[in-house]
Amino acid sequence: MSSALDPELAAAIERLAADGWLPLTRPDVAEARRNYRDLALIRRGADAEPVASVHDDVVSGPDADVVVRVYRPEDPRGVTVVWLHGGGWVLGDLDTADAAARRVARALGATVVSVDYRLAPEHPHPAALQDAHAALRWASTQFGGRLVVGGDSAGAGLAAGCALLARDWGPRLDAQLLLYPGLDPTMSHPSVVENADGPFLTAADMRWFWERYVPGEQARLDPSVNLGEAARLGELDDLAPAVVATADLDPLRDEGLVHAAAMTAAGVTVRELHGQGLVHGYFGLGAASAAARAEGDRALELLAELLATG
């Protein structure tokens, strides 16, 4: 049984819908990208969290250059986080990821490398995953200390895929941070039906995203994008320790829960948060909801604890 929606989130989502920001998807991809970008900048709030410096760089990937944005913390603690933004593999960019990257840098004292990976449908899977892994390799050579891959939503799905690639091909990861990850292109879990109408993210939104990101049936069986398939094949052992945060009122809730359980069964250290009363995207809704802000803070605290004990 799902919990009641946090009242502050309910009010915020009602305003977003009334003002025309929802649904997240639109018939035209370019229109959806404009809407998502404008919404992300509004969700960030007026004040960006301070960091010591920000600069852009370019990573040479196997078949494309990848732009990254590097955030240096004011209080460095020897951690590097490669951050992969949400947006259904179709939407989002370095600017929509800015607030999250700053928050992670400040909370963990981490150098954050935010990745402007290629987007579908122009570049379907595996382009985004290739870009993410290239950025991860680059970050491991540029910055010392403990290495983390993390992201939210689609970015968390990419982070989970990157954790598989890093285990097999390097670099060595110290942790992964998966915030309400998108992991199941078959959309076969009960929460997809239970939370089909959201709020915020809907099952129809997810169908729109998956159709553009993995348009072929064969691609949907790739273990690096379908983590349920990775579990079925017994490919989750020896992964980096993980924080997996889900939201109770999210269509993606169950795929995150199942992936956390499968990693635990494979002997991976996993810390879970279940986000009672919260919705998909809550990490970016902290300006509207104290509960959302607190849950995001808890996810970062759990990651810090994993890094301290690893």
51 touches 106 (CB < 8 A): yes
Nearest to 157 by CA among 87, 241, 208, 98: 87
Number of C-beta neighbours around residue 167 at 10 A: 16
Is 68 within the bounds of a domain? yes
275 and 289 in contact (C-beta within 8 Å)? no
Residue 210 forms part of a structural domain: yes
297 catalytic per annotation: no
Q: Active site residue: 6, 85, 114, 153, which one?
A: 153
**271-304 per-position pLDDT tens digit:** 999 999 999 999 999 989 999 999 999 999 999 9
Please check whether residue 203 lies inside any domain of the structure: yes
| Distance of alpha carbon 36 from alpha carbon 11, whole angstroms | 19
Which entry of 125, 133, 189, 280 is annotated as an active-site residue?
A: 280
Tell me if 51 sits within 8 A of 29, measured CB to CB.
no
For 248, the token pair is 């109770």
When pLDDT is averaged across residues 149-176 and rounded to a whole number, the result is: 98
Q: Answer whether residue 44 shows pLDDT above 70.
A: no
Residue 1: pLDDT band by 50, 70, 90 thresholds? very low
Indicate if 280 belongs to the active site: yes
Q: Nearest CA to 258 among 295, 296, 229? A: 229
Per-residue pLDDT reduced to its tens digit, 65-89: 999 999 999 999 999 999 999 999 9
Is 123 tagged catalytic? no
Sign, CA dihedral 248-268-225-189, equals negative
Q: Which domain holds residue 221?
A: 7-309
Does the pLDDT value for residue 130 go beyond 70? yes
Q: From the candidates 116, 152, 184, 250, which is the catalytic residue? A: 250
Partnered with residue 58 across adjacent β-strands are 67
Name the residue with tokens 């809550």.
Answer: 282
Asked if 175 and 303 touch (Cβ cutoff 8 Å), the reply is yes
Asked if residue 2 is part of any domain, the answer here is no
E strands, 79-204, where?
79-84, 110-116, 146-152, 175-179
More confident site: 92 or 45: 92
The per-residue pLDDT for 42 is: 78
137-139-144 Cα angle (round to 5): 115
What is residue 78's predicted lDDT score, i.e. its pLDDT? Answer: 97
- Is 1 a domain residue? no
**What's the rounded mean pLDDT across residues 200-210?**
98
The domain that holds 246 is classified in CATH as 3.40.50.1820
If one counts the domains in the chain, the total is: 1
Average pLDDT over residues 188-203: 97
pLDDT at 41 over 90: no
Angle made by CA atoms 272, 156, 173, in degrees to the nearest 5 = 80
Residues 68, 271, 162: CA angle, nearest 5 degrees: 35
Contact 199, 13 (CB under 8 A): yes
Residues 6+ apart with CB under 8 A from 308: none
- Least Cα distance to 178 among 150, 147, 136 occurs for 150
Asked if pLDDT for residue 2 goes beyond 80, the answer is no
Six token digits for residue 244? 């997996």
**How much of the chain, in percent, has pLDDT values that exceed 90?**
91
Mean pLDDT, residues 154-173 taken together: 98
CA gap 56, 94 in Å, rounded: 10
Q: What is the mean pLDDT of the chain?
A: 95
